[in-house]
Amino acid sequence: MTHVLLITSSPRGADSLSSRFATEIAEGIKASSAGTLKVRDLIADPLPHITSAYIQGRLTAPENRTPDQVAAVALAQELVDELKAADIVVIGSGMINFGPSSQLKAWFDHVTWPSVTFAYDDNGPKGLLTGKKTYLVAAAGGVFSEGIWAAFDFQSNYLLHLLSFIGLSDVEMVCVEGTVFGPDAAKAAIANTEAAVQVLLNKAA
């Protein structure tokens, strides 16, 4: 049975295209594989920013942790366990000020955990969450995949780097972009994304 983990992170609510298409991908894969779907909505259930309780707690023996450290490490462990249990990870990210939302950044801060999701060897860092397929839906109002604004895409490259760093290197990305240039441009961008998502689902079936 295929276990799918869906992570949505856009504060745009019902207007979020990243959440819409990420959900479509996750539900489509679940349906075609008769699998399970776990949803982590980082807007409806936001994570706290990491604090010293998390940083020190993960370095402290469990029996010596303070109550705050126990709670912080337990939350991070819950998120890591969700990732480990998933065969397929689907992430929706909407660009906020040229990068991912702070909610999604907080999720990565919790799951990027030395000796748990990555480690170092003689060749440098090594991701430990291998053998999973990841779909990344990255939405932006402008066009950042090419042209003069490509240098300012601090969302896609950053997320791809973090995913690879923890071992999620098999990534297919769907870009939703150019929606701020009027109704016709938005309609075309959505239609193009719908077609791209259908291609992905046909391949995954």
Annotated binding residues for FMN: 10, 16-18
13/101 Cα distance (integer angstroms): 13
DSSP state of 190: H
Q: Which amino acid is at 198?
A: Q
Helix axes 102-111, 67-85, angle to 10 degrees: 90
**Burial classification of residue 183, based on how many CB atoms lie within 10 Å of its CB (0-12 exposed, 13-18 middle, 19 or more buried):** exposed
Task: Return binding residues.
Answer: 10, 16-18
